[in-house]
Amino acid sequence: MPDTNVNVSDRVTLQLPPFWSEQPKKAKQLLKFEELSDRQQASFCDIFEAWKRKAFGFTISPTSESIRCAGTYILYSIPNESEIKFVRDSVHFNKMAPKLYYNEVSPPVRSVLLTAKAIGLELDLEQINLFAGEHLKPEYLKINPQHTVPTLDDDGYYLWDSHAINKYICEKYGQNDSLYPKDLHKRGTVDQRLFFNAGIIQPRVGAIVGPIIRQGATSIPKENADNLAAAYDFLETFLEGHEYIAGDSLTIADMSIIASLSGIVHFVPVAQNKHPKLSKWMNKMQQLPYYVEANQVGTDKLVGFLQSKLA
């Protein structure tokens, strides 16, 4: 769970939307939540979420009722109508992070860890020992009958599949839509790349890794390596004229695909001369400030395990 001893200033300043000027102007006014108009209440909830992200680094999705019951006050200063100040001492709420059932050797898990880091979302991590069969226990099957990792528990709402989880946490907890754009054309491209990862890359990686883990294979068939290399060709094309997999900015498509590739490229390398754009993109992803913690550590464990099984 997140550290409850958070060092923040007593007051946090945030921007107000223009329509807050509808409030009658007074030199200084202390308002309760229930004294606000419906529109201002909705706006306050959004601003309150942003404040928590800024002050504490994560959110808990409060309802209007929970804010009201907490006795939150708004110090509304005139004439400076562009700012709102929350007095920290008057705000009380449970700091509850979404729980992620995970094992960091899993590439899909690591894609979620990358996305969470990118949006500043703290996760309550619960390790699932796959080799001990913890994912097959009745209590885990109850929340995820497909017994896969990762699985997200967001206050009793259970969601699995890394692509779905990444979209969900960006929509709910992201401070903006940069990682998963609302623009339909941009979002369509991101979705296409996610489906490419789910339908092409992951199965082809699985065809290599699965037999090593489950069947004791000690070598990689050339056909399987060639199939994966063909996927590299597509990625090289996707990157034509672009810095990232789905365009010119970082998105969850990059998170998913780098997590899928970062381990397997030790066994089916990305050739610099044949895939220069893909190689450059992978290097760029490795420069993310949270990359080592969120992806490299788990990748190294997976690679070490696979190398120990190969002849």
Q: Is 85 helix (H, G, I), strand (E, B) or coil?
A: strand
Q: What is the dihedral of CA 131, 133, 134, 136, to 10 degrees?
A: 140
Separation between Cα atoms, residue 249 and residue 236, nearest integer Å: 16
Is the CB of residue 180 less than 8 Å from the CB of residue 193? no
Written as one string, the DSSP assignment of 214-243 is: HS---S--HHHHHHHHHHHHHHHHHTTT-S
Separation between Cα atoms, residue 285 and residue 298, nearest integer Å: 15
Q: Is 77 helix (H, G, I), strand (E, B) or coil?
A: strand
106 is catalytic: yes
Is the CB of residue 252 less than 8 Å from the CB of residue 179? yes
Query: In 88-204, where do the E strands start and end?
Result: 99-102, 124-127, 151-154, 157-160
- Residue carrying the six token digits 């590299």: 232
Q: Out of 9, 21, 106, 262, pick the active-site residue.
A: 106
119 CB neighbour count, 10 Å cutoff? 21
Is the CB of residue 297 less than 8 Å from the CB of residue 112? no
Q: Residue 297: CA atoms inside 13 Å, Cβ hemisphere, count?
A: 11
List phi, psi (to 5°) of 121. -95, 120
Residues taking part in catalysis: 106
